[in-house]
Amino acid sequence: MSTTEETAPVTARKIGELPGPRGLPILGNALQIDRHRLHAQLEAWTAQHGDAFTFSLLSRRFLVISNPEAVAGVLRDRPEGFRRSSRLEQISREFGFLGLFSANGATWKRQRPMVLAGLDPSHIKAFFPTLIEVTGRFARRWDRAAQSGAAIDLQADLMRYTVDVTAALAFGEDINTIEAGNGQLIQSHLNHILPALFKRVFSPFAAWKYFPSREDKAMPDHLRALHTAVAGFIARTARELQEQPALREQPVNLIQAMMAARDRDGSGITDADVSGNVLTMLLAGEDTTANTLAWLIWLLHKNPRSMRQATEEARSVLGQARCPRSVEEVSRLDFIEACAQEAMRLKPVAPLMVNEALKDCVVAGIEVPAGSLVMCLLRPAGLDAGNFAEPMQFQPERWIKREGAAAHSPASARRVVMPFGAGPRMCPGRYLALTEIKMVMAMLLANFDIASVATADGADPQERIALTMYPVGLEMRLKPLAAA
């Protein structure tokens, strides 16, 4: 038996000996779970049963852990000791986007180098002029809202931005959802697919096959339309590579890099790998960054002192510019990056990760047989007073290295808070995500005053999860600086 710990305990506990919420025969805890609030339910059970417990959905039993060392051990023991769940891989394959996020084994190893190359910081730097263009377009959209006093649907608007950025990077296509109507092809279909994927991954059984809902019946049409669009991008890229052979050695977007890799002798890359990763980029790049930005804007608005400091930094760095004009300017937004790190501690958009054990092992002093599902909760450690002073408070300063700083340095905090995961399967898009976050925040704070960020009833936004955790019903109203 292997172990994710350096030394296995003398007597490890068995999963069946762990505490957990009482369930019903056959059903287990299925009736206690609100799929839209799954993360919150698991966090509540963690507070009740401790940082290792079990629950079940029919025949599927989960070990839930939240100790950061144990979580990091599982995440770093991928892909040899743990894998993405077979359910996620199966459904992603059925949807037709088995990319780096959901693939396992040889497929993951084959895809990883080409995706990492496309998301390398040097490639993002070459992409920066496009990032400036999309951010400028976004600023003009918010100009119009500020001038008219219109309420901005914060999450929806931010998703327009992240889809445009991801599409431009992934396949060099200016789909311009920022200025298009609500019927824009890519955006309209993506909005249905992620919730369906999450629902199917965590459903106790494949209800959609036997009792399909209206959304289930519509899913083939959404997938077909999205695949048709991506097939068109692939065909266009094939023509570009044929007409400009130099692009094979110096690709300017991810799809060119992948198709050039596919065409090399012995690469093993397939058309399905290319298509799957283009779709994965769209799905993963849309929600995660947009939702992090939405939470960050709300948290800053609730914390005026941090808002003032972030605003001063943005206006100092940008001067008269509308958004950062270079990677070097982005790198100077230290306090805004600290605000993003603090938002990801309090409101991690990926609050849980499910992993499947490939072999018998020991996790947190618990015997984990091969095939077991281990669910890693990422937020509890970040809200633990043993790890952070005043853990419920928004304090970006805790992420800034200072001389003589006591207790928890930014380095130790990062060992507790892992918004991008850890180990070989750490999110390859983390550099792009932070760059987008700092671009949007600098643009927002340098050009506008935020009049309000609130839900319709004035209450804190409810958390919901559909693979990523997002705020419900946030609206933002802006004022032009001249009207402040």
Q: How many domains does the chain have?
A: 1
**Amino acid 338: pLDDT:** 97
Tokens coding 104? 């396992």
Report yes or no on 346 lying in a domain.
Answer: yes
Distance CA 419, CA 206 (A): 30
Where does the pLDDT of residue 6 fall: very low under 50, low under 70, confident under 90, or very high at 90 and above? very low
pLDDT digits (tens, 9 = 90+) for 306-326: 999 999 999 999 999 999 999
Is residue 436's pLDDT more than 90? yes
Report yes or no on 103 lying in a domain.
Answer: yes
Higher pLDDT, 399 or 205: 399
Lowest mean pLDDT among 70-74, 178-182, 207-211, 276-280: 178-182
Report yes or no on 333 lying in a domain.
Answer: yes
What percent of the chain is predicted at pLDDT more than 70? 94
Higher pLDDT, 130 or 230: 130
Report yes or no on 3 lying in a domain.
Answer: no
Report yes or no on 157 lying in a domain.
Answer: yes
Report yes or no on 5 lying in a domain.
Answer: no
**Amino acid 328: pLDDT:** 96
pLDDT digits (tens, 9 = 90+) for 24-69: 999 999 999 998 999 999 999 999 999 999 999 998 999 999 999 9
**Amino acid 484: pLDDT:** 43
Report yes or no on 460 lying in a domain.
Answer: yes
CB 269 within 8 A of CB 110: yes
Provide the 3-class DSSP secondary structure of residue 153. strand
Scanning the structure block, which residue is given the tokens 């400091």?
309
Where does the pLDDT of residue 411 fall: very low under 50, low under 70, confident under 90, or very high at 90 and above? low
Where does the pLDDT of residue 414 fall: very low under 50, low under 70, confident under 90, or very high at 90 and above? confident
Distance CA 187, CA 160 (A): 7
**Amino acid 417: pLDDT:** 95
DSSP 266: T
Is residue 96's pLDDT more than 90? no
Instruction: Mention every residue, 6+ apart, whose C-beta is less than 8 A from residue 217.
Output: none
pTM: 0.91
**Nearest by Cα to 19 from 59, 65, 57, 58:** 65
The parent domain of residue 363 ranges over 13-483
* CATH code for position 195: 1.10.630.10
CB 299 within 8 A of CB 347: yes
**Amino acid 20: pLDDT:** 97
Higher pLDDT, 18 or 409: 18
CB 92 within 8 A of CB 84: no
- For the chain, the average pLDDT equals 90
Where does the pLDDT of residue 4 fall: very low under 50, low under 70, confident under 90, or very high at 90 and above? low
pLDDT digits (tens, 9 = 90+) for 177-226: 898 754 456 777 877 888 888 889 888 888 899 999 999 999 999 999 88
Is residue 407's pLDDT more than 50? no
Is residue 401's pLDDT more than 70? yes
**Amino acid 445: pLDDT:** 98
Distance CA 232, CA 222 (A): 16
**Nearest by Cα to 285 from 370, 163, 419, 400:** 163
**Amino acid 55: pLDDT:** 97
Q: Mean pLDDT over residues 264-287, rounded? A: 82
pLDDT digits (tens, 9 = 90+) for 374-389: 999 999 999 999 999 9
pLDDT digits (tens, 9 = 90+) for 139-151: 999 999 999 999 9
Distance CA 264, CA 262 (A): 6
DSSP 351-371: -EEEEEESS-EEETTEEE-TT
Pairing state between β 60-65 and 463-466: unpaired
**Amino acid 404: pLDDT:** 47
Residue type, 478: L
**Amino acid 396: pLDDT:** 97
